[in-house]
Chains A and B, each alone.
Chain A
Amino acid sequence: MSSPTLIFKKRPIVYLQGEPLLLWNWQQEQQTLLEILESKHVRIFSECRSGFCGACRTKVRQGSVKYLIEPLAELAADECLPCCCIPNEDLDLDITTEGADMPPVYQDKYA
């Protein structure tokens, strides 16, 4: 018998086309990925927000998501429905950074 291990789960980073957008906060469990993206003014289309219209269908470049409710819209292996999921690990979404509140880019003044 092995002793119970504490599973450490790193807070996922959400990227937009490779650019880091935010560090996921687990206290936000009640909020969906879509709501968090919208709070950062990310350009994303949505309608039913309950997983059956498929309007918010988004391509995942890397990473995976966990569904809070099972979506009804059919998804390809590399797609997710942000209206009813949260990131499961670091997640890179194929959405433009245009218009989004991206964190300031670090500039090394002493380089």
Chain B
Amino acid sequence: MAYSIFCQTPNDATREPMFFGQAVNVARYDQQKYEVFEKLIEKQLSFFWRPEEVDVSRDKIDFASLPEHEKHIFLSNLKYQTLLDSIQGRSPNVAFLPLVSLPELETWIETWSFSETIHSRSYTHIIRNIVNNPSEVFDDIVVNTEILKRAGDIANYYDRLINMTQYYHLHGEGTLEFNGEQVSVTLRELKKALYLCMMSVNALEAIRFYVSFACSFAFAERRLMEGNAKIIRLIARDEALHLNSTQHIINLMQAGRDDPEMGEITKECEQEAYDIFFRAAEQEKAWAQYLFRDGSMIGLNEAILCHYVEYITNERMKSVNLAQPYQQRSNPLPWMKNWLESDSVQVAPQEVEVSSYLVGQIDAAVDENEFSDFDL
């Protein structure tokens, strides 16, 4: 089962399943099994943006005037998002590419992962602007216990899939001893690991990100940290697309037409998939508690944020055909809609609505009175 980067056996990729068929050889897009991935690629490319396009200079002043507990909320969210995108910028490539067997899906995964690297670069852009020593923020990510608690759960499903894939490619199916541990590798177990990993990625993009989004937009609702909100808005637009793609992959797996064995596995794993989402939501609620430990911010507190987590968790679980764990309620943060709406995301910086766009200076607002003592 040795992996080859260019399999020389001629095949018709449209007859392969999404994963675990013959590895992709020719990257051709003239024939496609699932056109939706091509559409996703095109959409993602049309969304291209660079962090430097957004002026964040005003944020430095805003940040300096924030009370300590709000600084804690802002920086903690940035740290957490940096972690999430560090993982997402590489894992889909490392984990899914060796298993994928459709060229359009392969390219989508690469396009998806690439856009996450832009997000990572934008955090550096923001952090470099608001603190004098960015290392203080970045270095804390791998030692902050509150962040590490979540990192473990996110990375586990990826790590398990990646390890099993390596065993599978080296030895094929069977039981082997590794580091004194008995590891049993079967194709079915590998498919199960892939399905659960995809669920965990979906939960990451569908729930975990949105807690930070809510805080960033809550600041911007008060006309604070608007440069940051503008960037987060572009990130949220990308994440909505990624979320759609993982939901789509999951739905294809569940339908079983793509790979009947995968269809059976999705039924077997229903409880485990439910637990992944439930655990993610509960962890995010705990995160909300950590964010607001020293006090709430105007417009957002722990209770509202937790209700929001429960609300979106229900919605996201509905989309991947899982039972909903929380009580049905109406959207506790109705203003989020205005920030997530993609039509109001304007790409050209000179068209930005937010007041943070000021050409090359801190404050371009000049009142007529300024000229009162001005003689010609």
Contacts and interface: CB of A to CB of B under 8 A. Distances in A.
Contacts of B237: 48
A55 B40 contact: no
Interface residues of A, number: 16
A48 B319 contact: no
B166 interface: no
Q: Which of A45, A46, A47, A49 has the most CB of B within 10 A?
A: A47
Contacts of B352: none
A95 to B, nearest CB: 12
B46 to A, nearest CB: 10
B343 A52 contact: no
B342 to A, nearest CB: 4
Contacts of A53: 240-241, 243-244, 342
Contacts, number: 50
Nearest to B210: A47
Contact of B36 (A43, A57, A74): A74
A53 B343 CA distance: 13
A99 B331 CA distance: 12
B330 A49 contact: no
Contacts of A47: 240, 337, 340-341
B319 A54 contact: yes
A72 interface: yes
B244 A49 contact: no
A45 B334 CA distance: 10
A73 B343 contact: no
A99 B101 CA distance: 47
A61 B4 CA distance: 49
Given A49-B343, A52-B342, A72 B243 contact: no
A54 B244 contact: yes
B341 A54 contact: no
A55 B314 CA distance: 12
Contacts of B40: 72
A51 to B, nearest CB: 9
Nearest to A76: B251
B206 to A, nearest CB: 10
Interface in A56-77: 57, 72-74
Contacts of B43: 52, 72
Contacts of B341: 47-50
A55 B337 CA distance: 11
Interface string B234-248: 000100110110011
Contacts of B293: none
Given A49-B341, A52-B342, A74-B248, A99 B240 contact: no
A72 B247 contact: no
A52 B248 CA distance: 11
B330 to A, nearest CB: 6
A38 B153 CA distance: 37
Contacts of A99: 330
Given A48-B237, A53-B244, A43 B342 contact: no
B96 to A, nearest CB: 19
Contacts of A50: 341-343
22 contacts: A45-B315, A46-B337, A48-B237, A49-B340, A49-B342, A49-B343, A52-B43, A52-B241, A52-B244, A53-B241, A53-B243, A53-B342, A54-B244, A54-B247, A55-B315, A55-B319, A72-B36, A72-B39, A73-B244, A74-B36, A74-B251, A99-B330
Interface of A: 43, 45-50, 52-55, 57, 72-74, 99
Counting from the closest, the 8 A-B pairs by CB-CB distance are A53-B240, A48-B342, A47-B340, A50-B342, A49-B341, A48-B240, A54-B244, A45-B315
